């Protein structure tokens, strides 16, 4: 096929004709009328003297889910192609994915349709192929994705926002563009009529495009992209949102699973534990054997009763809502992509935990669900079950304001409560503005803490800089947790792959752990530790331990705030737990056989807790002229109360997880 001609390649060339079509569609009543209007539009566009042709994919771009790079004018000839310009952090892009999944289930490449994701990054972290791979897995993207790291296609077509869909005809000719989310009906209408129009002309081919799914090469793991973690302060159990396995795990502090609820596949079903399902759950909060879950991609708030062993829905209707006010009873109130939840207390000051605060990422707001009748700041008495907006206009902004409804958030993704004076606020990880904000529990005022910049419309003020207030820079933070013991706030600075700490009194923000490297160093000091897009964190063991959902490493990491060491929480079965997800099979460890003359050294007693790292040094004084044979393991073993044996090889420094 010939290369595209000289006709202008930007999307603006489609605007006059498509605008006329969309005005005409507003007046159409029947489906037949709509189909006819789109068919006539295609006759007009297809009859242009010269195609409005899409540029070829530049050579050297990185591809996912394909056997080899794809060419528009070699591989896609005879196909209706949808280019999805997206960036994986964007909630609007995430909202579009179910529409694309539904379209792929309706039409395949044999029918003449192919979807290609054109990843055009907002953040520097999103330009890295390994990070895009993780997002492709997280969101179950099974069509080809190209990493347009320099946004060359974006710029050549003059794309202006995420997401943007461009529908191509079988010659690489641009037919339609759809900007933003919420256009499912138009997407299906335009695609179906384009397939019919070009099939009528014999221009659709049914040959297959070589697809090779990256997810097929993944090793099994006990956790898959865990998004959030919280701790039951009474029992010290952890609740983990095992997001990629679509389930909630309740584990003892040694990592032994007590309950596994949902998974391994996505779904939306209430009932007993063995029947219940979730869809990419994120935030979790536990109190009195009740867990509340932000069931993100179901657009629901779910309730798990550990005593009754049942799951129910307390807010949302199961489809994405657009309401930015709320006020209905929870089960009748549509909501949009809740990302985190935390307990709070109403203005009565009598009950505790009678409000569930919700980070409503989909509408860029903070909402409240009344778990009992009570009052919110500047609100009248509200009845139990009411679900409504508390702060945020719904505009995607970094706008602080004394009036909560005039403030603006940008995809709030993490919440933590500091109920005591002088703080009395919710801390918010506002991911797309790369800031941490606070919302007063007394009057709802929204204030800046760290990150971002003063211009409320600038959502590109990100970086990795320790500093004070606005001089500190973060990159898409997803989690926060309040340390009441030290009056400090810990931040999962997700795209910088670090854990940072903020003193809200001075607004000083510094790096606590993480080098910024994504290599998985599993047991080390804070200064040597690594994370990969950590999504959530919580304080446990009376302020001694910080648990981190290290999302892209598929782990829960334990940071000991006293010893400054990092370890990994092992996740393992118990006989009574129902576990749906895959687990790594470990080889059975056996005791080494040592000669009777082998020395035995008794160490002083040490008191430890689950997840704590013991560090010891082993020095060998060999006879003069002796050496250890290179490549041959020299074994040691350690006996400890409650542990049969631990094996290893000699190193200068050893780390033992007990």
The tokens describing 105, both together, are: 């289930």
**pLDDT score, position 575:** 59
Query: CATH number of the domain that 133 lies in?
Result: 3.40.30.10
Q: Are residues 265 and 360 in the same domain?
A: yes
DSSP string, 548-584: EEEGGGTEEEEEETTTTEEEE---B--SS----S--P
Measured distance CA(542)–CA(540) in Å, rounded: 6
Q: Are residues 192 and 339 in the same domain?
A: no
Domain limit, last residue, from 215, 238, 267: 215
Residue 157 exposed, middle or buried by CB count within 10 Å (0-12, 13-18, 19+)? buried
pLDDT of 295 over the 80 cut: yes
Return the residue matching tokens 């063991």. Answer: 541
Question: Is residue 244 one of the residues assigned to a domain?
Answer: yes
**Hey, CA dihedral for 607, 613, 615, 618, is it positive or negative?**
positive
Rg of the chain on CA atoms, in Å: 27
Q: Are residues 17 and 134 in the same domain?
A: yes
Question: Is residue 647 one of the residues assigned to a domain?
Answer: no
pLDDT of 611 over the 90 cut: no
Q: Are residues 57 and 174 in the same domain?
A: yes
Q: Are residues 146 and 111 in the same domain?
A: yes
Which strands sit side by side in the sheet containing 338-344, from one edge to the other?
326-329, 386-391, 365-370, 355-360, 338-344
Domain limit, last residue, from 579, 601, 626: 579
**pLDDT score, position 656:** 43
The tokens describing 371, both together, are: 């778990």
Residue 69 exposed, middle or buried by CB count within 10 Å (0-12, 13-18, 19+)? middle
DSSP SS3 for 656: strand
Question: Is residue 58 one of the residues assigned to a domain?
Answer: yes
Measured distance CA(24)–CA(12) in Å, rounded: 19
* Structural domain span for residue 255: 219-579
How many C-beta atoms lie closer than 10 Å to residue 149's C-beta? 17
Bridging pattern class, strands 80-86 and 113-119: parallel
pLDDT digits (tens, 9 = 90+) for 365-404: 999 999 999 888 877 889 999 999 999 999 999 999 999 9
Measured distance CA(304)–CA(314) in Å, rounded: 10
For 258-300, the three-class secondary structure string (H helix, E strand, C coil) is EEEEECCCCCCECEECCCCECCCCCCEEEECCEEEEEEHHHCE
Question: Is residue 344 one of the residues assigned to a domain?
Answer: yes
**pLDDT score, position 347:** 63
pLDDT of 461 over the 80 cut: yes
Question: Is residue 520 one of the residues assigned to a domain?
Answer: yes
Domain limit, last residue, from 560, 579, 598: 579
Query: CATH number of the domain that 400 lies in?
Result: 2.120.10.30
Q: Are residues 138 and 268 in the same domain?
A: no
**pLDDT score, position 86:** 97
Q: Show Cβ contacts of residue 159 under 8 Å, excluding neighbours closer than 6 positions.
A: 11, 85, 120, 153
Contact 565, 578 (CB under 8 A): no
Measured distance CA(583)–CA(264) in Å, rounded: 12
pLDDT of 653 over the 50 cut: no
Return the residue matching tokens 């539009």. Answer: 41
Q: Are residues 426 and 302 in the same domain?
A: yes
Question: Is residue 587 one of the residues assigned to a domain?
Answer: no
Of 599, 604, 590, which Cα lies nearest the Cα of 647? 590
Percent of the chain with pLDDT over 90: 78
Measured distance CA(245)–CA(138) in Å, rounded: 10
For 423-446, what is the mean pLDDT? 97
**pLDDT score, position 643:** 44
Contact 483, 502 (CB under 8 A): no
Question: Is residue 250 one of the residues assigned to a domain?
Answer: yes
Q: Are residues 176 and 287 in the same domain?
A: no
Measured distance CA(578)–CA(576) in Å, rounded: 7
Question: Is residue 646 one of the residues assigned to a domain?
Answer: no
pLDDT of 590 over the 60 cut: no
Q: Are residues 234 and 177 in the same domain?
A: no
Measured distance CA(408)–CA(435) in Å, rounded: 12
Q: Are residues 285 and 203 in the same domain?
A: no
Exposure string of 188-225, with b = 16+ CB inside 10 Å and e = fewer, is: ebbbbbbbebbeeeebbeeeebeeebbeeeeeebbbbb
The tokens describing 454, both together, are: 């003063």
Contact 20, 27 (CB under 8 A): no
Question: H or E element: which one contains 29?
Answer: none
Q: Are residues 373 and 347 in the same domain?
A: yes
Number of domains in the chain: 2
**pLDDT score, position 555:** 96
Higher-pLDDT residue of 646, 448: 448
DSSP string, 42-66: HHHHHTSSS--BPPPPPTT-EEESB
Exposure string of 452-486, with b = 16+ CB inside 10 Å and e = fewer, is: bbeebeebebbebeeeeebebbbbbbbbbbbbeee
For 458-464, what is the mean pLDDT? 97
Average pLDDT, the chain: 89
Out of 80-89, 373-382, 529-538, pick the least confident.
373-382
Of 307, 303, 334, 330, which Cα lies nearest the Cα of 318? 334
Q: Are residues 172 and 48 in the same domain?
A: yes
């Amino acid at each position: 096929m010939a290369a595209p001609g000289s006709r202008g390649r930007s999307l603006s060339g489609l605007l006059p004709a498509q605008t006329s079509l969309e005005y005409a569609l507003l007046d159409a009543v029947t489906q037949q009328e709509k189909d006819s209007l789109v068919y006539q539009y295609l006759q007009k566009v297809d009859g242009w003297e010269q195609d409005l042709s899409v540029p070829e994919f530049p050579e050297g771009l990185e591809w996912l889910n394909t056997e080899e790079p794809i060419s528009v004018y070699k591989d896609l000839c005879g196909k209706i192609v949808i280019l999805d310009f997206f960036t994986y952090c964007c909630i609007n892009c995430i909202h579009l994915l179910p529409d694309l999944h539904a379209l792929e289930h309706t039409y395949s490449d044999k029918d003449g349709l192919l979807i290609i994701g054109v990843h055009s990054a907002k953040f520097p972290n999103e330009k890295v192929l390994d990070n895009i791979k993780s997002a492709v897995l997280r969101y179950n993207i099974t069509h080809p994705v190209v990493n347009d790291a320099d946004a060359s296609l974006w710029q050549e077509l003059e794309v202006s926002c995420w997401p943007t869909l461009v529908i191509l005809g079988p010659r690489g000719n641009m037919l339609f563009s759809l900007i933003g989310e919420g256009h499912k009906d138009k997407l299906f209408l335009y695609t179906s009529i384009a397939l019919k129009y070009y099939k009528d002309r014999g221009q659709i081919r049914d040959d297959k495009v070589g697809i090779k799914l990256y997810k097929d090469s993944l090793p099994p793991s006990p956790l898959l992209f865990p998004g959030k973690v919280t701790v039951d302060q009474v029992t010290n159990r952890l609740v983990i949102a095992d997001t990629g396995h679509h389930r909630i795990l309740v584990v003892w502090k040694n990592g032994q699973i007590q309950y596994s609820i949902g998974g391994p596949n996505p779904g939306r079903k209430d009932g007993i534990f063995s029947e219940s399902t979730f869809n990419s759950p994120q935030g979790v909060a536990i109190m009195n054997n009740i867990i509340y879950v932000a069931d993100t991609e179901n657009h629901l708030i779910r309730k798990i009763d550990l005593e009754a062993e049942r799951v129910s829905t307390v807010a949302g209707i199961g489809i994405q809502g657009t309401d930015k006010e709320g006020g209905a009873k929870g089960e009748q109130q549509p909501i949009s992509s809740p990302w985190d939840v935390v307990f709070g207390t109403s203005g009565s000051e009598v009950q505790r935990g009678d409000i569930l605060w919700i980070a409503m990422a989909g509408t860029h707001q903070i909402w409240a669900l009344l778990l009992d009748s009570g009052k919110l700041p500047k609100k009248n008495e509200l009845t139990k079950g009411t679900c409504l907006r508390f702060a945020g206009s719904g505009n995607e902004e970094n706008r602080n304001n004394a009036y909560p409804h005039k403030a603006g958030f940008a995809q709030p993704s993490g919440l933590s409560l500091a109920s005591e004076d002088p703080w009395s606020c919710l801390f918010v990880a506002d991911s797309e503005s790369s800031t941490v904000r606070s919302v007063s529990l007394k009057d709802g005022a929204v204030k800046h803490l760290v990150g971002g910049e003063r211009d409320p419309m600038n959502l590109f003020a990100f970086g990795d800089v320790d500093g004070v207030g606005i001089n500190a820079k973060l990159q898409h933070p997803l989690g926060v947790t309040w340390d009441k013991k030290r009056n400090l706030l810990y931040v999962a600075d997700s795209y910088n792959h670090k854990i940072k700490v903020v003193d809200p009194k001075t607004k000083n923000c510094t790096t606590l752990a993480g080098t910024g490297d994504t290599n998985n160093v599993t047991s080390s000091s804070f200064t040597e530790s690594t994370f990969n897009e950590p999504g959530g964190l919580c304080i446990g063991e009376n302020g001694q331990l910080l648990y981190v959902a290290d999302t892209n490493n598929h782990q829960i990491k334990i940071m000991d705030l006293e010893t400054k060491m990092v370890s990994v929480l092992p996740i393992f079965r118990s006989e009574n737990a129902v576990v749906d997800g895959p687990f790594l099979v470990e080889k059975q460890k056996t005791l080494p056989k040592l000669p009777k003359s082998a020395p035995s050294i008794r160490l002083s007693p040490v008191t430890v807790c689950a997840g704590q790292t013991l560090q010891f040094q082993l020095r060998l004084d060999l006879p003069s002229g002796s050496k250890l044979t290179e490549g041959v393991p020299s074994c040691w073993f350690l006996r400890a109360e409650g542990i049969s044996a631990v094996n290893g090889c000699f190193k200068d420094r050893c780390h033992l997880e007990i």
